[in-house]
A and B are shown apart, each in its own frame.
Chain A
Amino acid sequence: MGWLIDLIPLSYTDAVVVIGAAILGLTSGVLGSFAVLRERSLVGDAIAHAALPGVCIAFLLTGAKDAGSLIVGAAFAGIAAAVLMVAIEHTSRIRPDAAIGVVLSCFFSLGIVLLTYIASQNDASQAGLEKYLFGQAAGLLERDLVVMAALAGASLLVVVAGFRILKVALFDSDFAASLGLPVRILDIAMTLLLVVAVVIGVRMVGAILMVAMLISPVVAARQLTHRLRTLLPLAGVLGAAIGIAGALLATGSELPTGPVVVVVGFCVALAAVLFSPGRGALWRARHVAAERRRAAFEGVLLEVETAMHAGPPPTTEELRLATGRPRAQLATTLRSLERAGLLDRDGAEHRLRLTEAGAAAAHELEQRRDLWAAWLEHGSSLDLPDAREPDPRDVRASLGDDAADRLQELATT
């Protein structure tokens, strides 16, 4: 690891923290994908809480606050918690979130009972046992980096080697089981990898950071792709980027690393949820608004035409009463019709009148709507090779002229 640390133009401790955050982000992004996609996002939370009784039992057995044995205790408790969680989920109607919650609260209650028991033994060396689990990124050592890198390598290897099997088991476990794949063992194996990552991560950066690191890169990556093959590397890269950015920001502003990384991760995930192209919340809101405007535009165009056929050209107020459209919507739509050159206002009363282009547009629109109505009525008798529904806004373009002409024929006879 020494060469990597030397490579980074930062002080020794800062470089260690940045590399640690990057490795942790990479591992948790990849492993977290499997948790998040199974609705088990908070499994890290449960494992982190479950470590408490494990630490207590390890202390009771060894009688000393030795880092190695306490971590082993925490890992065993985490494994027990994870296996219980998977078992509850598989054998009963309890859903993943409740299973995680039950395991979390039961293990933590047990931990508290054990802590009071240890405290009643009047042994001075037990002080601070419960704080032992929750580390500080600033306290990372080069030796820790080696452990983390080994873990990251091992889990990436497992994921790459077993990608196809894991994918089937993840998305359709019944199908996987019918193929003869050992679904439960796979499930437990993936959870175990997660447990080891969480136990080591929690010791280094704290429980809450670990919870966030398993989730935020995956949520962000999920907004950007639909394919597991891209999701996994993307989540890993995003996780590493979040870790590095958070660690650099933290060292720059002299704040604790863990919380800053959490904040950065949340911002990245939120940005992806809002702005992801084609899927993000804001993108969709804009799309919906544009569709609404288009619908109003076409609707009002036809309504003016109908009103002109029925009698004298209507005033805005008459049109509003006839159509029941909200005042503001009608006003903006009329303005955009005018701007498009489809509408004129006549005389002192500003009566609405379609221009020549407007009449032509209305006529074309009516034809398109008739064609859609014809499709709904006769579409099944066309016997098209392509079974897909045409675009209701433009049936002719999506079916082709041939089919559209036949539809028109069917509708007129």
Chain B
Amino acid sequence: MNDDLVIIVTAGLAATACGLLGPFLVLRRAALLSDAVSHAVLPGIVATWLLFQTRAPLAVIIGGAVFAVLCVLAIDGLRSTGLVRSDAAIGLVFPLLFALGVLGVTRYASGIHLDLDSTIYGEIAFAPFDVWNVAGIEVARSVAIIGTIAALNLVFVVLAWKELKATTFDPGFAQTIGLRPQLLSRVMLIAVAITAVTAFESVGAILVVTLLIVPGATAYLLTDRLALMVALAVGIGWLSAVAGYWGAVAGDSSIAGTMGLVCALCFALALLVSPKYGLVATALRRRRRSAATATALAAER
């Protein structure tokens, strides 16, 4: 594979993995979980360093994933008391984990250089340089890892589709028909945490946060059907991967940043011209309705 293709495929697969889960986060009002996870991995990195004195990618991913899962479970636990809303729960937990990470660094690891940028927050531009040899074929490591995660997410979402749908829209109903909304929501949050941590390492934190939120929110503006929403989210992710890459090459700019900007552009477009919920459509509808009311009133008189 040539380098351009590796980068685009890596980003596209990350978009797939995120796009499969993002719509559920948006619908469950937990969109900012992705940002929380991106901060909560810090103590994982520090703990991995303190315990095993290593910065090897796999060890760091596992350490980060442990704390990411801890973070989402703590948020879910706080939220399920019914005393704290999910946004406040997110904002309570991730600063704590980040603060613990910072304290760990200053207390025990200030001598070494634990640079976040070089350990877990990868840079997508370097994706083609790290190659694995699988059965005689050379595969970029990032493509292999993100591809696996995307496939796992696909399996999860397809297998648990009905249950995810029921628990997302009507947890009470799901509970009465014997599904377990709490358990399923936890499994989904764990999937989000693991997806995010693995993707950080290949494509960088901000791109993952963007891909988990923006395509899902854009799709939410475009459709009312869940299946279409997930498909649209994945599609918008791929679009931004391809367009963002060429844009970045043309403008000699940051790849992750440009992909994020393409996502933003898609969102802005959907906000303006979505056939049902767009600003233009709403304004037209409103005008037509007030005209109809005016004529009806005139006729009555």
Chain A residues engaging chain B, CB cutoff 8 angstroms:
36, 39-42, 44-45, 88, 91-102, 104-106, 108-113, 115-117, 120, 208-209, 211-212, 214-216, 218-219, 223, 255-256, 258-260, 262-263, 266, 269-270, 273, 276, 279-281
Contacts and interface: CB of A to CB of B under 8 A. Distances in A.
B258 interface: yes
Contact of A219 (B92, B106, B267, B279): B92
B23 to A, nearest CB: 10
Given A98-B29, A102-B264, 10 more contacts: A45-B91, A92-B271, A98-B217, A109-B261, A115-B257, A212-B99, A215-B92, A266-B92, A273-B78, A281-B83
Interface string B186-221: 000000000000000000001001100110110011
Nearest to A273: B83
A108 B206 contact: yes
A209 B107 CA distance: 18
Contacts of B83: 223, 273, 276, 279-281
A281 B83 CA distance: 8
B213 A102 contact: yes
Contact of B267 (A39, A40, A106, A223): A106
A39 B102 contact: no
Q: Most chain-B CB neighbours within 10 Å: which of A116, A263, A280?
A: A116
Contacts of A94: 217, 220-221
A255 B104 CA distance: 10
7 contacts: A42-B35, A109-B264, A115-B254, A208-B98, A255-B107, A266-B95, A281-B83
A129 to B, nearest CB: 14
Interface string B71-103: 000000010010111111011111110111011
A101 B34 contact: yes
Nearest to A116: B254
Contacts of A99: 217
Contacts of B258: 109, 113
A101 B257 contact: no
In the A-B complex, the 10 residue pairs with the smallest Cβ-Cβ separation, listed nearest first, are A109-B260, A112-B257, A259-B99, A212-B95, A106-B264, A262-B99, A101-B213, A113-B257, A105-B210, A101-B31
A259 B102 contact: yes
Interface in B29-61: 29-32, 34-35, 39
A109 B257 contact: yes
B26 interface: yes
Given A42-B91, A101-B213, A112-B254, A93 B99 contact: no
Contacts, number: 185
A216 to B, nearest CB: 6
A256 B101 CA distance: 12
A106 B96 contact: no
Nearest to A40: B87
A100 B99 contact: no
Contact of B102 (A218, A256, A279): A256
A118 to B, nearest CB: 11
Interface string B277-301: 1010010000000000000000000
A212 B260 CA distance: 26
A175 B271 CA distance: 27
Q: Most chain-B CB neighbours within 10 Å: which of A44, A108, A280?
A: A108
Nearest to B98: A208
Nearest to B276: A93
A255 B261 CA distance: 38
Contacts of A208: 39, 94-95, 98-99
Nearest to A216: B92
B70 to A, nearest CB: 14
A216 B35 CA distance: 18
Interface of B: 26, 29-32, 34-35, 39, 78, 81, 83-88, 90-96, 98-100, 102-103, 106-107, 206, 209-210, 213-214, 216-217, 220-221, 252-254, 256-261, 263-264, 267, 271, 277, 279, 282
A92 B282 CA distance: 9
B263 A269 contact: no
Nearest to A213: B95
Contacts of A255: 103, 106-107
Nearest to A96: B87
B95 A209 contact: yes
Contacts of B96: 212, 262-263, 266
A259 B100 contact: yes
Given A108-B206, A109-B256, A211 B95 contact: yes
B98 A41 contact: no
Given A45-B32, A97-B30, A106 B217 contact: no
A102 B267 contact: yes
A188 B29 CA distance: 22
B203 to A, nearest CB: 13
B38 to A, nearest CB: 11
Given A92-B279, A263-B99, A273-B83, A113 B254 contact: yes
B254 A91 contact: no
Q: Most chain-A CB neighbours within 10 Å: which of B83, B94, B206?
A: B83
A281 B93 CA distance: 17
A285 to B, nearest CB: 10
A88 B213 CA distance: 14
A101 B35 contact: yes
A106 B263 CA distance: 8
A101 B32 contact: yes
B92 A95 contact: no
A95 B220 CA distance: 10
Contacts of A98: 26, 29, 31, 213, 216-217, 220
Given A39-B87, A101-B32, A281-B83, A106 B261 contact: yes
Given A120-B252, A273-B81, A105 B209 contact: yes
Contacts of B92: 212, 215-216, 219, 266, 269-270
A152 B86 CA distance: 28
A93 B260 CA distance: 22
Nearest to B81: A281
A106 B102 contact: no
